[in-house]
Structure formats: C-alpha cells, structure tokens
Structure 1
Amino acid sequence: MNILDIKSFLKLVEIQTKVASITPFILANLFLLYQYDSFNFVNFSLFFLSLLAADMGTTAVNNYQDFKRAQKKEGYNYELHNAIVKYDLSEKTVKKTILSLFGAAVLIGIVLFLRTDIVVLLIGALSFLVGIIYTSGPVPISRTPLGEIFSGLFMGFFIIFLAIYIHNLQLLNIFRESNQVIIEMVYYDIIKIFIFTLPLILGISNIMLANNICDIEDDLANDRYTLPIYIGKLKSLNLFKYLYYLSYLSILISVILNILPIYSLLSLLTFFLVEKNINTFFKKQSKKETFELAVQNFLIINYATALTLIIALIF
C-alpha cells in the first residue's frame, strides 16, 4: 500500500471538479456586491474553507463507496479513474482523510455559526447531512434518479443563499415566542436569489446527468439505478439540452426583473458555444471524450454572467 501524497490526495478528492462548488460561491459574492451593501471578510473566508473541505470530503466518500461497491473492476478503466485503486491507497488512510476533511468542515462551520445565527447552523447541518447520504448509506442519493435534483439544489441554491446570508442580511429569521417557533422570510429577496441561481442549479444538475448518461452501462453492471437508466438515453439527452435552454431563459427573466444588470444580456451570446457542445455530446457520450463538455457549458454560462456582474460593479 502507498501513502497518501499530494498527487493521490488531489485525485482522491477530484480537485478538478471543485469548480462546481466554488463557482456558485464566486457568483454569490458578486451578486451580493451588486444587490446589497454588506460584506464580512471573516465570514466569507470561513464559509469558503468549510465549503471546500466538505466538498472534498464528499468526493472522497464517493470514490471510497465506488471502490467498496464496485462489482465490475476491469475493462472500463476503473483502475485509472478510481484514486484508491490507481495509487494503491489503504482503506485506513482513505478513511482518515475523509474524517479529517469532514472534521475541518464541521469545526469551521461551528465557528461561522457562532459568528452568525441558528439559520446558518440549520441549513449548514442539512447540507452536510445531504452531502453524506448523497454518497453513502444503504442507498446513496447519487445511485438513484434523485441525484440530479439534490446536487443542483444544494450546490446551486443553498450554497448561494448561505454565502449571501452570512453577511448578516437577515433574509431568514427563526425565533421562539411563547410556545411557538416563528419563521420570518424576506420572500421577494429569496425568490430573486432563486431565479438568479437557476443557471447554476440546472448547470450542476446537467453535470451529474451527463456523468450518468456516460455511465449507463457501467452503472447497470454495478447496480446504480440513476435517472438515465429510468427514463432512457434519448429522453436523458433531450433533458440535458432543454435544461440549458431554461438556463438562458432564466437569465433573460433576471434582467427583465432587474435581478441582473442589463449587461447580463451579453451572456446570452454564449448560447452558440453551448449549443455546439450540446450537439457534440448528442453524437457521442463518453466519460473520457465528451463528458467535460457539460463542465465547459457550466463554466461558459455562469462565468459569462459573473463577468457581466463585474462590468456592472465597475460602471
């Protein structure tokens, strides 16, 4: 067995995929600066570190679960794309790494809670719980047709909501009065945030969907019954396409409702690049050759929007 070095650690946590969680965080703070006059650098830093540690821990758990549950271990590069097999890592080392990452995420999260309020604790704990059952337990969410929904909502919406809320904007307030627990919400602002996050929610869901489309045969062999297995490849590909179309529609609606600046209409020009990637993916669904197009589309759409927010902040 080999020891865990930097190279094997980065492969175990699939550092290249962290863009899916960091992108919502970046957009959240740009949106915060555009829409609100509030920023707390310490809370910003704590949330970023906790988010990164939790995301890396979740990915490591997913790789460990795949390693433990895999029934088909030859013939489709399993020994190359699973870090535990590729670097001959011991299970003990992997478990220690997972516990260390989750421990760091929890400790930093507690410090952030102590600096904010109960809302951060509740949403953070719920997100952490979903992150765990997403990749582990008797029936992990990632092995069910609900994987796309959970990954999109929790990584695309809740990350942004928390990233904005920690700057003490009081978008949501929970308190006890007599024998009642009262929840107060700034509905309009929460709805605005949700509409703003739709390209993120749908883009992250599509990354998961593309991954599952590419893995249909292997997932069947390993008893993973994901959404594409339930609805079929053709319907999955059409869903993949329409979710991007809905993303562009949500950007247009956001501009109309003054959630995004008028400059954000420029991000609609990226449609042609995204459409080209969609057509390429329709022709061939391969983890090695075309899966990355889903990640590219996610980055193209959302960083184009990020750029327009930066332009608005400057001018």
Structure 2
Amino acid sequence: MQPNLQGNSKPVVEANKGFQVWWQLTRPHTLTAAFVPVVLGTALALKEGNIHFGLFFAMLIACLLIQAATNMFNEYYDFKRGLDTEHSVGIGGTIVRDGIKPKTVMQLALGCYAIALLLGVYICMNSSWYLALVGLICMAVGYLYTGGPLPISYTPFGELFSGLFMGMFIILIAFFIQTGTVTTGSILFSIPIFILVSAINLSNNIRDLDGDKENGRKTVAVLLGKQKAVTLLAVMFAFSYLWVLGLIISGTAPIWTALVILSTVKPFKAIQVFKKGSMPIQMAPAMKATAQTNTIFGLLFAIGIFVGHFFS
C-alpha cells in the first residue's frame, strides 16, 4: 500500500477536531487487552487478603495509558513508513483521515508514558522497586512494537510479545502488587489471557495480511497464509477454553469459572467472518469480535474467581 501524495492528503489544523477523533486515536477496542488482565490479577489476589484499591486503580490507569501510547506509536510510525492512507481500513489513520499532525500524536503518546511512569513510581513505593525494571521493559516493548530500526510488528513475534507483556505480565504484576509474590496458580490462570491477547494481534495481522505482505512484514499471518492463520486463531480460542476446563477438573479453578463458556459466541463469529471475508473491510468485524472475546472471557473468568472465593 503506497502513501497518497496528492495535496488533499496533507494534514490540516486539528484545533476543531471533536472528542471522537481523539478517542479513536487510542484505538479503544484494544484497551481491553490492558483492562482485563489487571482485573483478573486483582481477583486472583483477593484470596490472599485485602485489596489495596489505590494500587489497583494506579495499575489500571497506567496499563491503559501504556496501551493507548502503544497504539499512538503504531499510528505515528505507520504514517511515517507510508502504511496508512485515507483509504486504509480500521480505526487507525487519524493522521491521514482526520488531519491530526504526526508530531501531536507522538507528543500525546509520550505524555501517556510520562503519566504512566509517575503512576509506576507510586506503585513501586507501595510494593517493590523491582517492578520498575519490569515496567520499563513493558514500556520499551510498547514503543519497539512499531518503533526502532526493526519493529516487532515486522517479525513473527508480535503475537508472542503482545500476549506476554500485555497479557500474562500484567496479570502477574497486578497479583504481585497486592500479595508481594507470584504463585504457580497465578501463572496458570494467566495463560488463557496470554493466548487471547495474542489472538487480538493475530486477528489484526490476518485482516492486514495483504498490505503487510506488500510492505515486507513477516508476521505469522503472512508466513502461514490466511487459511492456516485463521485455523491457528481457532486453535488459540479452543485452547483458552479447554485450559479453563483443565483448571476446573484439576481443582485449581472454582467451578464458577465455567462462566467463560458464555463468551463463545464471539470467537465463533470471528472465525466465520474471517473465513468468508477476503477484503480488509469485510474482516474488520472479525477483529472486533476477537477483542470482544478477550473482554468478555476475561471478565467472566474474573467473576468466576471472585464468586469462587466466597462459595468454595
């Protein structure tokens, strides 16, 4: 996909842009990838004692800001590399379609990081300074996903990094700041969310497969091809549900976590739409359904754990 070099594609003054434009810049459907793990990690910690709500909200806001900033870095570098045009599909493209200046997007992203850093200081002061290193690594990955000389998004490791740093690690950090430790159980509970956050990334790459291939990206979707990538996505969905079933059967998770089964309509929809669609605009609803799977699954999982604390 080549950038449009016509005069009408140049950014215009953004002073009169409405709230919706700025909200879309955060790519809100992806923010659940940060919200759900914090809630789940905190629900797991409830069994170990009382919850420190100051730490919970600080962690929640910091993670949302880091995710929003990561999306803005994506917006900025996709524009700089000519990947976004006013005809691009998706809620990205605020620069090319809505006229927001690239410099403004970068400044907003850095501002989000600055606030997240301040919140991180508060979290470390009330838990452990070892978390400072972990937090900085997570922020670095957020930037390097699309920034730097070899962006992670150009490699087959995007799903791994997103699932690990925006799924599993957030759950474990949220658990640690409440309990002061990381347990085998907390790791086991984090695995299905690790998979589902990775699935969000994979669904995005399936939708953008043709454009990514043209621009030299070597994502999992590009390497496997659409059909095999959709099959992999289906396997990831199935694995997440079966993992919870395994936790229940082994007695690790309360029976209430079986509530996650209520979210299965979303992954079925995602796979069906991906199989039928051939153009990015046709597959966009499948990506949305994948993100919704993570949201609904994660919240039902957390509710099941929460209820299990009182009825076990």
TM-score, normalised via structure 2 length? 0.86
- 1:88 counterpart letter in structure 2: G
SS of 1:135 mapped into structure 2: coil
For 2:76, the equivalent position in structure 1 comes to 64
1:156 to 167, 170, 173: 167
| Counterpart among 184, 193, 198 of residue 200 in structure 1 | 193
SS in 2 for 1:120: helix
Residues 171 and 190, structure 2, Cα contact 8 Å, conserved in 1? yes
Tell me the residue number matched to 1:236. 229
Matching residue of 2:41: 28
Q: Give the distance between the partners of 1:192 and 1:147, measured in 2 at CA.
A: 26
Q: Is the 2:75–2:92 Cα contact (8 Å) retained in structure 1?
A: no
Does structure 2 conserve the Cα–Cα contact (< 8 Å) formed by 1:20 and 1:204? yes
- Answer with 201-210 or 285-294: which moved more: 285-294
> What is the match of residue 118 of structure 2?
107
Deviates more, 1:197-206 or 1:275-284: 275-284
1:290 matches 2:286: yes
Judging changes above 3 Å, is the alpha-carbon distance between structure 1 residues 89 and 265 closer, same or farther for their aligned structure 2 residues?
Answer: closer
Structure 1 residues 310 and 170 mapped into 2: Cα distance closer, same or farther (>3 Å)? closer
User: Among residues 19, 27, 30, which one is paired with 1:14 in the alignment?
Assistant: 27
SS at match of 2:200: helix
Q: How is 1:119-130 mapped onto 2 (pairs within 5 angstroms)? A: 119-130=130-141
Shift of 1:8: 2.4
Is the alpha carbon distance of 1:236 and 1:21 closer, same or farther for their aligned partners in structure 2, counting shifts above 3 Å? same
Q: CA deviation at 1:223?
A: 2.7
Q: Cα–Cα, structure 1 residues 129 and 13, in superposed 2: closer, same or farther, change >3 Å?
A: same
Match of 2:300 among 281, 284, 304: 304
Identity among equivalent pairs (%): 29
Partner-residue secondary structure (3-state), 2:218? coil
* Paired residues of 1:215 and 1:287 also in contact (CA < 8 A): no
Q: Does 1:253 align with 2:246?
A: yes
Instruction: Specify the alignment match of 1:279 in structure 2.
Output: 272
Supply the AA of the counterpart residue of 1:2: E
User: Retained in 2: the 8 A contact 1:21–1:55?
Assistant: yes
Structure 1 residues 32 and 237: CA distance shift in structure 2, 3 A: same
Change (3 A) 1:39 1:310: closer
In structure 2, the residue corresponding to 1:61 is in which secondary structure?
Answer: helix
Partners of 1:76 and 1:273 lie apart in 2 by 25
Match of 1:51 in 2: 63
Return the match for 2:155 from 124, 144, 167: 144
- Post-superposition shift, 1:273? 5.6
Structure 2 gap segments, 5+ residues each:
1-12
Q: Does 1:89 align with 2:85?
A: no
Map of 1:37 onto structure 2: 49
Distance in 2 separating the partners of 1:280 and 1:91: 33
Equivalent AA in structure 2 for residue 83 of structure 1? T
SS at match of 2:284: coil
CA deviation profile, 1:221-258 (whole Å, cap 9, x unmatched) = 33322111112222211111111111112101222333
Aligned to 2:214: 221
3-state DSSP of counterpart to 1:139: coil
The code of the aligned residue for 1:293 comes to A
Does the 8 Å contact 2:200/2:290 carry over to 1? yes
Instruction: Count the aligned residue pairs.
Output: 295
Give the structure-1-normalised TM-score. Answer: 0.85
Q: Which amino acid aligns with 2:29?
A: Q
Q: Do the aligned partners of residues 68 and 267 (structure 1) sit closer, same or farther apart at CA in structure 2, a change above 3 Å counting? A: same
Alpha-carbon spacing, 1:75–1:221, altered in 2? closer, same or farther (3 Å):
farther
Alpha-carbon deviation of 1:102?
A: 1.0
1:174-213 to 2 correspondences below 5 Å? 189=183, 191-213=184-206
Q: Which position in structure 1 is the counterpart of 2:7?
A: none
Q: Which runs of 4+ in 1 moved over 6 A?
A: none
d(CA) in 2 for partners of 1:108 and 1:89?
A: 28
Deviation at 1:71, TM superposition (A): 4.9
Structure 1 residues 110, 67: closer, same or farther in 2, change over 3 A?
Answer: same
Counterpart of 1:312 in structure 2: which amino acid? G
> For 1:58 and 1:225, how far apart are their aligned partners in 2?
20
Q: Which moved more, 1:204-213 or 1:103-112?
A: 103-112
Q: Which has the higher contact order (CA 8 A, sep 6+)?
A: 2
Aligned to 1:181: none
